Amino acid sequence: MNVTTSNCSLSISSYNDTVNTSTSSATFSQFSGFKVTAENISLAITLILLDVITILGNFLVLLSFVVEPRLREPFNMYIFNLAVTDFLVAITAMTFYTINTLLGYWPFGMVMCGVWIYFDFAMTFSSVFTIVAISIDRWWSVTWPNQYRFRNTPLKTLVILLYLYLVIFTNIMLFVFFVTFALIYCVRHDWYLRSITKILVDIYFVILAVAFYNLCGCEVAGGKGVTLDM
């Protein structure tokens, strides 16, 4: 009788272990879209390498400004700002995108999804606007070199960078676009609405870029017009 009871207990225990293992496997398959294949492993390695290289590369640029005071010139402030924005893009947008792609789902909740989308757009736009500011600075230095030498000060560069962040972070319309896109991406998962919203954001971004270009041009001219130095 004892032997029979013992055998029954072992059978029930084995059955429970089998059910638990099957349940865990089913749960993992349900919530994780990552499959261990050569293609997915290659994708994972590529995304992680790009993210790590971007973070380390921009961190080294930032570190060089800390250890080398001679780099702190007006033009190099744009390079520093570009490294800051790209560093933040790598930490926020690229890192979360890599996790989302590899897992096959978003594991951090709706609030963090909205934060991710917002920083993705805001930091990317800041990076592109910094490149716009760099192009204006180079145009100024080539077209009016004498004026550039005397009027290009750290304060003027800081003012232009301040314009940049004011355009990005205090623009109500842009914030509405960000929130709308985040809700569609994180809650609705509607590809059609997502595409339409993305197109509207890009169009509005082009308008902002033109406005920022003119704003920087006015700052470069000092509001009094620019005279050609011979």
The total of structural domains in the chain comes to: 1
Q: Could you read off the pLDDT of 197-214 as tens digits, one per residue?
A: 777 777 777 777 777 777
Quote the CA–CA distance of 84 and 217 in Å, as a whole number.
Answer: 23
Q: 226 in a domain, yes or no?
A: no
User: What pTM does this model have?
Assistant: 0.70
* Rg of the chain taking only CA atoms, in angstroms: 27
Q: 145 in a domain, yes or no?
A: yes
Q: 144 in a domain, yes or no?
A: yes
Quote the CA–CA distance of 36 and 138 in Å, as a whole number.
Answer: 49
- CA 206 from chain centre, in angstroms, equals 18
Q: Is the pLDDT of residue 11 over 50?
A: no
Could you give the C-alpha distances from 71 to 43, 52, 65, 79, 164, in angstroms and in order?
Answer: 37, 25, 6, 10, 22
Q: Could you read off the pLDDT of 129-169 as tens digits, one per residue?
A: 888 888 888 888 888 888 888 888 888 888 888 888 887 77
CATH assignment at residue 59: 1.20.1070.10
Helix spans in the chain (H):
2-31, 38-67, 74-89, 95-103, 109-143, 145-151, 154-169, 172-183, 191-221
Q: 131 in a domain, yes or no?
A: yes
What is the phi/psi pair of residue 227, to 5°? Answer: -105, 140
